[in-house]
């Protein structure tokens, strides 16, 4: 499982009390039009009063224009907007304040220095605002992880997944599982206690009508469903169905990890078949050196792409062959290692140098030794050089067995690129 908060948190809880008031730059670093500096803790109100010189903060959740000064020297630092969020109606559940100042580095550093000089305030540790929100029940763990994913999202698919998780979709699923297990456990306990008494099950269950317990995050959970008989086969079927659902969810979690970190696709093939040209075509820039000399690519060239809203990490590798040069041998070794780690393999072959029939294509693909369990797309490059348009090869590509999905492509003319991206 991913660690949401740094391990050092457990070591610092004693030295950095939760009663401290913390502050940090909440917006990104670097020059920008507006920077947001946030505080959280019991000293937020006093900090806001000290920096603005006003005896009272503005009305809650209302932007107010204030001149911001250094409380020690009274030197003006900026003129910006301030917001007051009294707890518990704030992101962390504590008293919070935000200062919306101009985003120049000198302004931001000046305001942060001024806050650091105030007694009882300290810089926030990474993730501490979210941790305080989690500790006070403003966020559950899945929502906190979704928030982190949303901040790091670079593609539309990543944004959609993170937003669904942050808004509670995953938490609601876990809550339903918790309720199902609680009900099954209640049935089993009632069966153990009363199974030898005639007709007592219905009476016990009817007495349990409306009874609730506390489930995940303190939500009420029905302990015993009203007006139903205890049936061990029914309980067994319910638990087994839940087990299958959880198993399917865990297997599907791999898709979420791929969406979060990007699909790692490896371009592999013999030398001089156009692997580097394919990389340059996909990323629309000369990311890799293209040369007619075999063995030009020695190391792995990695490029991050956004393909249809989905993150893709594309790796160009050295040509796979029995090399004699020590440097090229190392490149081939790295290429084969990267193949074993790939989520997707783009196997590139020269369309003018492969047999125009499925069995021959399958044999040529097998010589690359792609991992058997890894999805593979066979790319036949240099389609523009085929005689007569390559009708025979087109027919061979259409026969999926024993071939993986296969496409004809010309990196020179971009013919077939749309089909590959689909």
What does the pLDDT look like over 128-168, one tens digit per residue?
999 999 999 888 888 888 888 888 787 787 788 788 878 77
Query: pLDDT class for 402, splitting at 50, 70, 90?
Result: low
Start-to-end CA distance of the chain, whole Å, equals: 32
Calculate mean pLDDT across residues 196-222: 44
Is the pLDDT at 216 greater than 90, yes or no?
no
pLDDT of 211 reads 43
Query: pLDDT class for 215, splitting at 50, 70, 90?
Result: very low
Is the pLDDT at 269 greater than 80, yes or no?
yes
Q: What is the pLDDT of residues 342-401, one digit of tens each?
A: 888 999 988 888 776 677 777 777 777 777 788 888 898 988 888 765 556 666 666 656
Alpha carbon distance 114, 101 (integer Å)? 14
pLDDT of 272 reads 87
Is the pLDDT at 92 greater than 80, yes or no?
yes
Q: How far is CA 333 from CA 257, 317, 347, 364, 373, in A?
A: 27, 10, 17, 20, 20
Is the pLDDT at 14 greater than 80, yes or no?
no
User: By mean pLDDT, which of 24-28, 153-157, 314-318 is the weakest?
Assistant: 153-157
Is the pLDDT at 201 greater than 60, yes or no?
no
- Whole-number percent of the chain with pLDDT over 90: 25
Per-residue tokens: 406: 């296969």
- Give the chain's mean pLDDT: 79
Higher per-residue confidence, 219 vs 291 = 291
Query: pLDDT class for 286, splitting at 50, 70, 90?
Result: confident
Per-residue tokens: 302: 């990695």
Q: How far is CA 276 from CA 49, 158, 169, 216, 321, in A?
A: 60, 28, 41, 52, 16
- For the range 412-418, what are the long-range contacts, defined as Cβ-Cβ under 8 Å and sequence gap of 24 or more? 412/277, 412/382, 412/384, 413/384, 414/281, 415/383, 415/384, 416/383, 417/281
Calculate mean pLDDT across residues 71-98: 94
Is the pLDDT at 214 greater than 50, yes or no?
no
Is the pLDDT at 121 greater than 90, yes or no?
yes
Is the pLDDT at 205 greater than 60, yes or no?
no
Query: pLDDT class for 57, splitting at 50, 70, 90?
Result: very high
Is the pLDDT at 222 greater than 50, yes or no?
no
Alpha carbon distance 208, 351 (integer Å)? 72
């Amino acid at each position: 499982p991913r660690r949401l908060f740094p391990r050092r948190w457990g070591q610092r809880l004693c030295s950095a009390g939760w009663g401290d008031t913390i502050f940090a730059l909440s917006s990104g670093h670097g020059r920008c039009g507006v920077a947001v500096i946030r505080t959280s803790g019991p000293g937020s109100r006093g900090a806001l009063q000290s920096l603005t010189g006003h005896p009272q903060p503005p009305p809650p959740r209302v932007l107010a224009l204030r001149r911001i000064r250094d409380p020690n020297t009274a030197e003006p630092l900026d003129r910006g907007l301030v917001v007051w969020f009294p707890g518990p109606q704030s992101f962390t559940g504590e008293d919070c304040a935000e200062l919306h100042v101009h985003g120049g580095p000198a302004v931001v550093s000046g305001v942060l220095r001024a806050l650091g000089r105030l007694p009882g305030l300290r810089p926030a540790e990474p993730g501490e605002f979210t941790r305080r929100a989690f500790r006070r029940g403003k966020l559950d763990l899945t929502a906190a992880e979704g928030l982190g994913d949303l901040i790091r999202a670079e593609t539309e698919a990543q944004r959609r997944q993170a937003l669904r998780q942050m808004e509670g979709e995953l938490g609601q699923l876990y809550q339903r599982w918790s309720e199902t297990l609680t009900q099954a456990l209640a049935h089993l306990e009632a069966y153990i206690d009363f199974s030898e008494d005639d007709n007592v099950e219905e009476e016990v269950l009817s007495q349990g009508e409306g009874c609730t317990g506390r489930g995940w995050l303190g939500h009420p959970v029905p302990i015993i469903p009203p007006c139903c008989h205890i049936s061990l086969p029914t309980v067994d079927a319910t638990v087994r169905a839940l087990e299958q659902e959880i198993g399917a969810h865990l297997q599907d979690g791999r898709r979420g990890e791929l969406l979060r970190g990007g699909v790692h696709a490896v371009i592999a093939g013999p030398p001089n078949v156009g692997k580097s040209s394919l990389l340059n075509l996909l990323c629309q820039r000369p990311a890799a050196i293209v040369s007619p000399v075999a063995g030009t690519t020695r190391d792995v060239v990695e490029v991050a792409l956004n393909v249809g809203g989905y993150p893709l990490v594309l790796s160009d590798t050295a040509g796979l062959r029995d090399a004699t040069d020590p440097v090229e041998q190392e490149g081939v070794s790295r290429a084969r290692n990267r193949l074993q780690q790939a989520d997707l393999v783009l196997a590139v072959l020269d369309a003018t140098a492969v047999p125009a029939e499925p069995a021959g294509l399958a044999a040529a693909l097998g010589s690359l030794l792609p991992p058997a369990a890894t999805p593979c797309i066979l790319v036949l490059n240099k389609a523009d050089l085929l005689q007569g348009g390559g009708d025979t090869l087109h027919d061979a590509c259409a026969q999926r067995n024993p071939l993986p999905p296969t496409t004809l492509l010309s990196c020179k003319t971009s013919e077939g690129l749309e089909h590959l991206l689909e």
